[in-house]
Structure formats: C-alpha cells, structure tokens
Structure 1
C-alpha cells in the first residue's frame, strides 16, 4: 500500500542519491511528495505500524497459530519479514489495554443495574426493620436478664454491619457502604483492634486497606465507585507489571537451558513473543466476553460460551509447552519436565507479582 504520492524528481530529499523506484537504495527513505492531505498523518502511522504489505499479519498469524515458529524464524536471522519483538509487544500491549476501554455498557445492562440497586435498597430496608425488631426484643428481655449493656451495644454493631467480625474481612453496612472486619470507619476499626488481642495481625494487615476505603467513602464514593476505581487502577498498572516481569521470565528460561547455546538475548526473544501471545489471548477473552454478553440468557448460549472460554484458556495453557518444545528442541520428556518446572515457578512468581500489584494499586487510588 502506498504511503503517499511518488515524486517525479528521482533525487532523494534526505541524502541526495538517485532513487530508482520507490525507496532510496542508500538511506531507505520513501521518495514521496512532501505535502500530503491531512488524513495522511493517520494513515501513514497505521501503515508504518502494522505494515499492510503482509509483515504484521504474517507475524500475528505465526504468533497465534504456530507456537514457537516466530521465535525460531527470528533467531535464525529471518527478521525483515516480521515485526520486531519489542515493537510487537508494545503494540499488542497498547491494543490489549486500549480496546476494552471502548466497550460501554448497553442500555439493558444499565437498566438491570438500576433494578439491582432498587432491589438492594429494598432488602436493606427490610433487614433494617427486622434488626430493629430483634434489638427491641432483646432490650425488653434484658430487663429480666443479667446481660451487660456493653454486650447489647456490641450486638448492635455486628447486626447493623451485617458481618461476623472474626470471619468477614470485607462487608457492607446497612446504608450500603463497605466495612472492613466489621468496622464502618477508622474509629470503629481501632476500637475493634483494641478489643481483639488474638487477631491483631489480621487487623494490622488490613489497616492500609481500611484507611483507603474509609477515606474514599468520606469523599462521597459509594461501593460501586470504589470497585470501579480499583479495577481501573489495576488495569492501568498491569502492563507495567508485565513489562517489569519480562526479564524475570527470561532469567528463569536462562537458568534451565544451556548457557552457551541459548544466550539471555535468545530467551528474551522467546519471552517477548510469548507475552505478546498472552496479551492477545487476554484481548480475545475480553472481546468474547463482550460479544457473548449480547446473546440471550438461554442454556444453549451459556453452554456455548463456556465451551468457547474453555477452549481459549486451555489453548493458552498448552501454548507455552508447544512453543518451548519447538524452540529449545529438547526431547519430549525433558521438554515436559522443564516446561512444568518453569510453569510452576512462574505461576507463583506471577501470583506474587499480581498480589503486589493489587496492593500497590489500592494504595495508589485517590
């Protein structure tokens, strides 16, 4: 596809050499007119980035359906026909986390949400009336029983919050706000902390979360808005976390293979291609989720959705083993052992990374 109108003058504007056809044989610049229509700014960007001459689509085809093929081709020196690994990863990462933001809730989904909120308010009102009757009954009985008034107050706190302080880390108060370990604000949290000497380690762990939740609620945010902000923060932080984990993943590959035959650079290329595939898989799952949500809520469609999700997830799991076997050319038994070891190690390492991501994302919310 042309990137612009070709100049009649065959002298390269960049280096002054004679241009035989479209591109200068000396510097590689395309010999096009300097003045172009405004839309050229956008079409040129897309063409340069995706290479409509077949480079981009060939890369994507190999990446999705030929595990390990792209890495083997690149390491063999066949690099001009494919998108460079770093450029591919950056582009796929951008698309994966940009496209989901384009999806918006349909009118039906919004209506269902409104109905859900109305039903929730009605249930909360009914629970409030039921709790009031129970407490009134307890207070009447307390006139003839030796129950400390402090116990009645504790009962009120736990009943109103609707949580078991010993077991519920995250709950909901009667007015729809979030509670942490049965506390609706930091004053209650500190009070429960002082009373419960046996579970203070739990309170210490949850304190940063409690401070953040109560601070956001004081700013007027409701439960749904807090969860939305948290999800948005995680989504924006996830690409950074994956990018940071790239050299860690490559390092584990380097440890498990011949250091003389497979340099760290080679393992890095495999990692970039594999992570690009994972990001594309995530994008496919998100897109499928949005498309399948448009189908009626019938059993047959639910079964189809389940099967599609299962096929995609299973393929994403076995993709690594196939690619690893083809690239590193070990025997099947050795490849399976190394693949399983790497899979388990990276699973726990990624889990730790995601937990850290969740913690940092929550602390970064404002």
Structure 2
C-alpha cells in the first residue's frame, strides 16, 4: 500500500462533524481535520503535540525568526501570518513551557538547622553547636565570668522565647534547645576551670530534658491588644459588608497558619509562586500593549497591533528565562565548591541577562521606526512603568500564594 493509500485509509469519506463529503485533509465546510486520532496511533500522538507537529514546522520557523529583534513582529504585522505561529499561541506555548521548567530547575536550597554537639554521655539531643548557636564560654577564664555570661544568655533566650509569635513554634523549640545548651556548656567550662566549685552541686535553673515553664505566646497579629482570631477577635473593616469581612478574616487566619509551613519549607512556596506567574503575565501583556498604544499614539496603529508586539516581546523574554533555567540546571551538575567551573555558567547567564534589554530596545526601534533618541526615551519610560507593574504583580502573587497555600 502506498503512502497516499495509507493516508486515505485513515480518512473518513465524510466529515465526522458535519457529514460533508471530504475533498482533502480538512473539511471545507466546518474546517475539522480529516485525520481521526482514534484510527491511527501516529495521529493520536500528533493530537497531543498539535501545537508543534500539526503546524508543519511553523513553531521552529517562528522561534528562529523571533531571535532577530523585531523581524517576526514586522512580518506578522505586514500580513505574513501563514508561515508563523500566531502571537498569542506562541506566547502560551513558550510561557507554559518556561515556567514548567523553572519549577523543576530553580531551587532556593534546603533550610537545615545545625546538628547538636554530643553531650558527655555521647548523645546529641537538646543542644546546638557552640560555633553556630553563638554559645561559647571558652573565652571566660574565671568561674564568675562563666556564671555571669550564662545568666545573661539565659535571660536573653527566655525573653526571646516569650516573644515568639504563635505559629512559629519551631523557632521556639530552637530557642529552648539553646537554653539547655547554655547551661550544659557553662557547667562544662566551670568543670574545666574549677572542678570542685560549689555551683556544680546546684541544679540547673532549667534542667535538661525537662519542659520549660509555659508562657503565653504572642500572636503574629493582634487586634486591640488581643491575639487575632477569625471567630472571637476578628479584623473588622466598617465599610465592608459582613460577607467580605468574613472572607478577609478567613484568608488572614489562613495566612497566619501558613507562616510555619512556609518558613520550614520555603521551596514549596516558591514553586507555587512560579506556577502562578503565567496567569499574571496574561494580565500584564495587554496592559503593556496599552502603554505602547499611548507611547506611540502618533503612529495611528490600532491596539491589536501593539498587542502583537507585546506578545512577541514577552514570548522572547520567556524564552530567555527558559535558557537561564537550562543553564542553571547544567550548572547544578558542577560541584558547588568548584569556582572555576562555575565561571562559564555565570558568564552565560550574565550574557543572556545583558542581551534582554538590548533585544527589546532593538525590537522597539525596528517596529516603530523612530529616531533612536526618541526610542530610548520611550523605552526608559515604558521600562520603568512596566517594572513597577511587575513588582506590584509579584507582590500580589506572593500575597495570594501565601494565603492560598
């Protein structure tokens, strides 16, 4: 069977959607593809990767043209749309791919607490390393100096423990470990200085392993001097209706509950934040197109033309971020202590970051064809405004991720 016969074998004689007799690969009545993915595994795979493979290579041609500043935007605005992927579709493909890879490659590192030093009996519980916790009595040459430093340290630790907000219990536990460690290390230093000193016969104020006196923990949020509680002591905004106040207090309570989770597992929070960035870009891109419309209102271009420029510019920025993530992933394979092997990674990342504003300026110059001085002024103004919007968007994303994690 020839290739054409094989193609005909998987084609229906009539469109499955509207039953119009088919004369080619697409229905001329409704436009549905004649290929039925249920009749061919190859076409089923093509359905999954439709954005890439059913475009007859347009995605690769589009990405290649996108690398030249302004060339793709000018071609699309001039009416050469068939050879390239539509701007919105390209932006969706690149942005989703970019931030998917970013979630896999960008890590802020694990948050680890110092391992405690061994006690006299060889165990390692309830203490922290002197050099990492700041507890060190080695400089004291008299027992009186050790006792004075011990008491001052204990006073500060107990005061700090009392000020730990509710929801930061893991911080309180670390302070308690240092309280026990302070007494143990002070006792060991006294033994070194004067093994028979009378203070060694006295019990510690806070015996190791024994629970410390319970104290009320300060709340992260206080209303009228009392701990915030969504039910018994909520935040009340007079000009908001009751349902809005209930919603606000629910989110505030959720944010307070998430503090220890985010503090102990910040990478989870960052991953969630990165995953929400594409949604924010769908808002920022049309706003940026509006800024272009205002900046170049004398060109009499319609808003959708500026939107094309905004979509292609953001698609390129996402592409650069994707390259940065891939470089970072490769750099993670290099041992962290090897400075010289890290230099190529840093150089490549710096080159990409330096090229991004140059590309955007060059693109703006080529598309709008104004004198470079006017282009530079508008580029700086637009860049400043967009930077402020971006900071606000990131802050809003961080806030919403925090209260919804």
Q: TM-score, normalised by structure 2?
A: 0.65
Aligned to 2:129: 126
- Alpha-carbon distance between aligned partners in 1 of 2:397 and 2:106, rounded to the nearest angstrom: 25
CA distance in 1, matches of 2:315, 2:376: 22
Whole-angstrom CA distance in 2 between matches of 1:174 and 1:270: 53
Separation in 1, partners of 2:387, 2:378: 14
The one-character-per-residue Cα deviations of 1:302-333 (angstroms, maximum 9, x if unpaired) are 21111111001111121110111011111111
Residue correspondence of structure 1 range 1-366 to structure 2 within 5 A: 5-7=6-8, 13-14=14-15, 16-17=20-21, 19=23, 22-23=25-26, 28-32=31-35, 35-38=38-41, 40-51=43-54, 53-63=56-66, 65-102=67-104, 117=112, 119-122=114-117, 125-127=128-130, 130=135, 137-138=147-148, 156-158=158-160, 173=171, 175-176=173-174, 187=218, 189=220, 215-216=257-258, 221=261, 223-225=263-265, 227-258=266-297, 261-296=300-335, 297-365=337-405
Q: State the distance in 2 between where 1:235 and 1:271 align.
A: 21
Separation of aligned partners in 2, 1:135 and 1:42: 77
Q: Distance in 2 between matches of 1:266 and 1:3?
A: 41
Change (3 A) 1:190 1:324: closer
8 A contact 2:87–2:312 mirrored in 1: yes
Question: 2 CA distance for matches of 1:3 and 1:45?
Answer: 23
Q: Under a length normalisation based on structure 1, what TM-score does the superposition of the two structures give?
A: 0.71
Q: 273-282 or 34-43, which moves further after superposition?
A: 34-43
Q: Is the 8 A contact 1:234 1:361 kept in 2?
A: yes
What is the number of residues matched between the two proteins?
A: 320
**Gaps in structure 2 of 5+ consecutive residues:** 118-125, 138-142, 176-214, 227-248
State the superposition RMSD in angstroms. 4.5
**What are the superposed Cα offsets for residues 247-300 of structure 1, whole Å, 9 maximum, x if unpaired?**
211111111113562111111111111111111211111111111110234222
Q: Greater helix percent: which structure? A: 1
Q: Give 1 or 2 for the bigger CA radius of gyration.
A: 2
Taking a change above 3 Å as real, the CA distance of residues 258 and 309 of structure 1, as seen in their structure-2 partners, is same
Deviation at 1:362, TM superposition (A): 1.3
* Conservation of the 8 A alpha-carbon contact between 2:273 and 2:401: yes
**Contact preservation (8 Å) 2:10, 2:36:** no
Distance 2:39 2:387 in 1: 50
Q: Can you give the 5+ residue segments of structure 1 that lack an aligned partner in the other structure?
A: 143-151, 178-183, 196-206
Could you say if the C-alpha distance between residues 3 and 313 of structure 1 is closer, same or farther in structure 2, counting changes exceeding 3 Å? farther
Q: Which residue of 1 aligns with 2:121?
A: none
